[in-house]
Structure 1
Amino acid sequence: MTALSLPVSDPAADGVSSPVVDEPVALLQLDLADPAEAASAVYREVRRGRRVVAVACGRAEAPVRLARALDAIGVDATLPAMGEGLLGRGVAIVAGPEAAPARPRGAAVRPLRVALAGCGVVGGGVAARLLGDLRFELVGVLVREPDKTRDVALPRGLLLSDPGALLAREPDVVVEAISEASTGLALIRAALSRGIDVVSANKQAVGGDLPALAALAEASGARLLYSASVGGGAPLIETVRRARAHGRVVSIEAVLNGTCNFILNRLAEGRTFDGALEAARVAGFAEEDPSADLSGLDAAAKLAILAHEAAGWRLPPDGVSRQTLSAESALPAGRVRQVARLDIEGRRAAVAFEVRDGDPLFADLADEGNALRVMTAGGRVFTARGRGAGRAPTAESVWADLTDLSTGRD
């Protein structure tokens, strides 16, 4: 893998041009014998804010196979025709040689011992990959009902229902993908206090008091990674971090909840609220109890995480002003979005329904899509969008954090 640094202009998604900066372009030579692993390599560069030129090595269909694998995790890619430029926005895929160059072998490294908490939509997707990757050793899986049938085949000896027993297996990292806030938060605290690294996709647990969790991790020498807790596979947290590195962040506006976005799209098509909610359940974007989504609490928890990233704030999610989506909601006419707003200078935060007709970032946002716009004091705009829900995109974000931990070991 080669990373190039080239000066390119960065037009924002809302049509506002930002200053010309040195934006790195990653040139990756990928072996398409394993499309999922090749797509993961591209995804990790994308979430670092890099444009990518991916050289797909393999048979003639290798570029198409890579494009399909990227689409499954929510990464858009183009296959430029001969003579077309490669350094447009996003990911460009070109055909490479049939055989990829052999990778140099490094010293053997002990597999990273991973304890997984939760084996539902996200946890199940992570578990399937852990079992097939020699860089990791899955040492235990925390579930409510060990005897329950699951869509991922796990060795019976891995399944546990006691968090203490999970930590007793001495993992290097806990992957926390529990849907319930209090249990997830307790497990995160217990792991960090023992010096165990944590990767979490639980926005309610992480967003409740992220500054305290960050302080606990620093005190114990553990690492806390939580990219999947906001935006699913969309690199929203990374985008805020890049904006903050560039200058003082003054405001954020974002669509952070895929369930509400799905329902609002169905309402715009003329469906009833109950019909739209049922369609969201069938599509896998709404829980049986969608109250956190519809009340704005889910978006508020994610906004709390972004507030920490943008300004080091502790923003209690239950203190964020919120509007509820229901059959009785009087929505304005037009393309309505549930918009989470953070005004850092005014110290205000809110989740409300707004008409965003004509906004190229928000107006045409796909059903499970999330999007983010960050403004710095210097007037530069940073944007990101992608799939904010679903097994493949969210599990990919968790996987990227795990891979970063694995490759970052001494």
Structure 2
Amino acid sequence: MNPSIVVLKFGSSVLQTEADLPQAIDEIYREWRAGRRVIAVVSAFAGVTDQRFAQTRAVTNDLHEQAAWVAGGEEESGTKLAAALIANGVSARYVDAREAGLRAHGEPHESTPVSLNASYLHDHLRDHAVLVVPGFIAHDIQGRTVLLGRGGSDLTALFLAKNLEARCRLLKDVDGVYESDPAVVENHAQRFNRLSWRTALEIGGRIIQPRALQFAQSHGQSFEVACVGSNLSTLVDHGPDEIATVLHENIQPVRVVLLGLGTVGLGVYAHLLRRPDLFQVVRIVVRDLDKPRRLDEANLEAPKSLLSIDPWDAVTQPADLVIETIGGLEPAGEIVHAALLRGRAVVTANKALIASRWWEKLARFATGKQPLLKFGAAVGGAVPVLETVSALAHHAGVVQVRAILNGTCNFILDALEQRIDFDTALAHAQANGFAEADPHDDLVGLDAARKLELIARAAFGEASHFELNVRGIVGVTASQASLVREEGLSLKLVGACERSEGHVRGAVKLHELPASDFLAGARAEQNRVEIVAGNGQIVRLAGKGAGRWPTALSILGDVHEYLRDGRIAAADEQVQPAVVNA
């Protein structure tokens, strides 16, 4: 099995409407943060398949024509998920069944998949973190659309996973397979931790397509059944059957204080509001109570009853989690430190804070089995840079990191290549939410330098002495950038660090990169990172590194990880009281 690829299947019980897409994005992002490329297999939104069957049967008796019309349901949900992933900064691509080479034979509405262009999918997984593939759909040898039977997205997912030698996880509205319907209280249903294919065929047909189970059994293929966001699952394989000792996760809403309600803070608030089962926002700290704060695209506005101008509410208000988006060193440093001392978890994207003198006081809260401080969003926006570098450093060591780390500068340099003057390019970046009102730290290279320092710390360890030279993009003109482009090169602000002769050296400076260089492909606010591991492996990451939604997604990635860590500890009965050392 290839541990670097996972197939996630999202059924209509999970994606009931377009409003549920963020749940799928969170689950996909969870896997990408863990270092895996993702193939997301999607069903149509709830009720759409039945609706389309009724529509097409009213106008034609041709089974292939019916299949082609019904397939539009999966195509709609798939393209919308891919678009939503891209909008949130994740490098994603929609791949339809024809592109994937998914062939099947048999009855038009009950076909069996027989072949797949696995090399095509592998090629595109090198360029994208996520491929979205419609479930339930294939094509016959004549190129006509066929369907894989009711619940056929399960079969699509298992077939893809088998051919790609990937792990497979079927995501449902329950956290595994139960002996009987867990929704019926009188059943006292018990969840299986492990389940044989044979038993699953006897009892699992309610939530897993029987044909998919038969496929897995005939190929000796194991897979998981789980709920979005859960640590719990049922492993379906050869057995033996095992009843789980932990039947459910005890989920109570986490009380959250949000520091800041600007571009990123408002995006984070929108994420928190859509999951009232997980989060209760108890206070939002802002600088100006009268400033309008409405997010039209999400149709929300923070109620004034939640607003405060006192940042110490993060410490004094009853809360479990503080999300810091105000930026800067003060008062952020004092507030974050005090909140951590009170035993509260803190999630921040504040790279200036984490790279500053405050780190000496904060570092101890970022280690251990249940770290209270998380800051993955401080580097790369939606791109899981620190998570990937840390994992590679642990398993194989890191030799070198090269990266485009500042979306503001990359956006401006792209515009300069198009002969747009510097001030106009900066104004466009600010209007699109890719640059701060005061962009000084971005333009002089300081923002990229702070991120590079965090990368070097993750790659080479806390004790490494870091020598860093920094030069930004101030003074670059449109004529200079366009001349570089005419020579077939791209002007990029590159941050690079490596260990050499016992020292860790880094630099942030302009480079003229050939088109063949992976970093040269970064467009607009995109970040790109190339990591050379000690075993010679080269890992490349790409995605949006600036803007409301990419940064908010990364912050929520840390938040969900904190929640999962807590549930694991609770299940293991290893929860320790927070140590207050003021």
Residue ranges of structure 2 left out of the alignment (5+ in a row): 49-72, 103-115, 137-150, 154-170, 176-181, 183-247, 296-300, 571-582
Alignment of 1:253-402 (within 5 A): 253-313=402-462, 320-327=468-475, 333=484, 334-345=489-500, 346-402=503-559
Which residue number corresponds to residue 207 of structure 2?
Answer: none
Query: What is the CA–CA distance in structure 1 between the aligned matches of 2:317 and 2:498, rounded to whole Å?
Result: 44
Q: CA deviation at 1:387?
A: 0.2
Q: Which moved more, 1:140-149 or 1:210-219?
A: 210-219
Which residue number corresponds to residue 329 of structure 2?
Answer: 181
Q: CA deviation at 1:24?
A: 4.0
Equivalent residues of 2:499, 2:505 under 8 A apart: yes
In the superposition, the TM-score normalised over structure 2's length comes to: 0.63
Whose Rg is larger? 2
Matching residue's letter, 1:137: Q
2:74 is the alignment partner of 1:35: no
Equivalent residues of 2:527, 2:544 under 8 A apart: yes
Q: Which moved more, 1:118-127 or 1:321-330?
A: 321-330
Equivalent residues of 2:407, 2:546 under 8 A apart: yes
Q: CA deviation at 1:125?
A: 0.6
Alignment of 1:58-97 (within 5 A): 58=45, 59=48, 60=73, 61-75=76-90, 76-82=92-98, 83=102, 84-85=116-117, 87-88=121-122, 89=125, 90-92=129-131, 93-96=133-136, 97=151
Q: Which moved more, 1:298-307 or 1:75-84?
A: 75-84
Which residue number corresponds to residue 135 of structure 1?
Answer: 278
In the superposition, the TM-score normalised over structure 1's length comes to: 0.87
Which residue number corresponds to residue 118 of structure 1?
Answer: 260
Question: Secondary structure, in 3 states, of the residue corresponding to 1:181?
Answer: coil
**What fraction of aligned residue pairs are identical, expressed as a percent?**
34
Query: What is the CA–CA distance in structure 2 between the aligned matches of 1:208 and 1:248, rounded to whole Å?
Result: 25
Q: CA deviation at 1:227?
A: 1.2
Residue ranges of structure 1 left out of the alignment (5+ in a row): 1-5, 8-21
Query: What is the CA–CA distance in structure 2 between the aligned matches of 1:139 and 1:381, rounded to whole Å?
Result: 44
Alignment match of 1:195 (pick from 340, 343, 351): 343
The number of residue pairs the alignment matches comes to: 390
Question: Secondary structure, in 3 states, of the residue corresponding to 1:399?
Answer: helix
Matching residue's letter, 1:77: R
Query: What is the CA–CA distance in structure 2 between the aligned matches of 1:359 and 1:241, rounded to whole Å?
Result: 27
Question: Secondary structure, in 3 states, of the residue corresponding to 1:375?
Answer: strand
Matching residue's letter, 2:28: V
2:397 is the alignment partner of 1:242: no
Query: What is the CA–CA distance in structure 2 between the aligned matches of 1:358 and 1:328, rounded to whole Å?
Result: 20
Query: What is the CA–CA distance in structure 2 between the aligned matches of 1:354 and 1:239, rounded to whole Å?
Result: 24
Q: CA deviation at 1:243?
A: 1.6
Equivalent residues of 1:192, 1:222 under 8 A apart: no
Query: What is the CA–CA distance in structure 2 between the aligned matches of 1:224 and 1:372, rounded to whole Å?
Result: 24
Equivalent residues of 1:304, 1:316 under 8 A apart: no
Equivalent residues of 1:336, 1:353 under 8 A apart: yes
Q: CA deviation at 1:195?
A: 1.6
Query: What is the CA–CA distance in structure 1 between the aligned matches of 2:306 and 2:173, rounded to whole Å?
Result: 35
Q: CA deviation at 1:262?
A: 0.7
String of CA shifts for 1:288-347, please: whole Å, max 9, x gaps: 221100110000111111111111236899x73111322367768331110111122242
Query: What is the CA–CA distance in structure 2 between the aligned matches of 1:392 and 1:195, rounded to whole Å?
Result: 28
Query: What is the CA–CA distance in structure 2 between the aligned matches of 1:368 and 1:294, rounded to whole Å?
Result: 14
Equivalent residues of 1:160, 1:166 under 8 A apart: no
Equivalent residues of 2:472, 2:508 under 8 A apart: no
String of CA shifts for 1:347-399, please: whole Å, max 9, x gaps: 21111000111234211211001111111232221211110001111111111
Matching residue's letter, 2:335: L
Kindly tell me: are residues 315 and 285 of structure 1, through their superposed partners in 2, closer, same or farther at Cα, counting changes over 3 Å? farther
Question: Secondary structure, in 3 states, of the residue corresponding to 1:347?
Answer: strand
Q: CA deviation at 1:201?
A: 1.0
Query: What is the CA–CA distance in structure 2 between the aligned matches of 1:381 and 1:204, rounded to whole Å?
Result: 28
Question: Secondary structure, in 3 states, of the residue corresponding to 2:290?
Answer: coil
Equivalent residues of 1:47, 1:235 under 8 A apart: yes
Query: What is the CA–CA distance in structure 1 between the aligned matches of 2:93 and 2:293, rounded to whole Å?
Result: 33
Matching residue's letter, 1:91: V
Equivalent residues of 2:5, 2:39 under 8 A apart: no
Question: Secondary structure, in 3 states, of the residue corresponding to 2:31?
Answer: helix
String of CA shifts for 1:242-286, please: whole Å, max 9, x gaps: 321331212111110001101111111122222222222222212
Query: What is the CA–CA distance in structure 1 between the aligned matches of 2:312 and 2:77, rounded to whole Å?
Result: 45
Question: Secondary structure, in 3 states, of the residue corresponding to 1:192?
Answer: helix
Kindly tell me: are residues 403 and 218 of structure 1, through their superposed partners in 2, closer, same or farther at Cα, counting changes over 3 Å? closer
2:8 is the alignment partner of 1:23: no
Equivalent residues of 1:263, 1:273 under 8 A apart: yes
Larger RCO of the pair (alpha carbons < 8 Å, separation 6+): 1
Alignment match of 2:31 (pick from 45, 49, 60): 45
Which residue number corresponds to residue 155 of structure 1?
Answer: 303
Question: Secondary structure, in 3 states, of the residue corresponding to 1:378?
Answer: coil
Query: What is the CA–CA distance in structure 2 between the aligned matches of 1:167 and 1:395, rounded to whole Å?
Result: 22
Query: What is the CA–CA distance in structure 2 between the aligned matches of 1:220 and 1:408, rounded to whole Å?
Result: 8
Question: Secondary structure, in 3 states, of the residue corresponding to 1:43?
Answer: helix
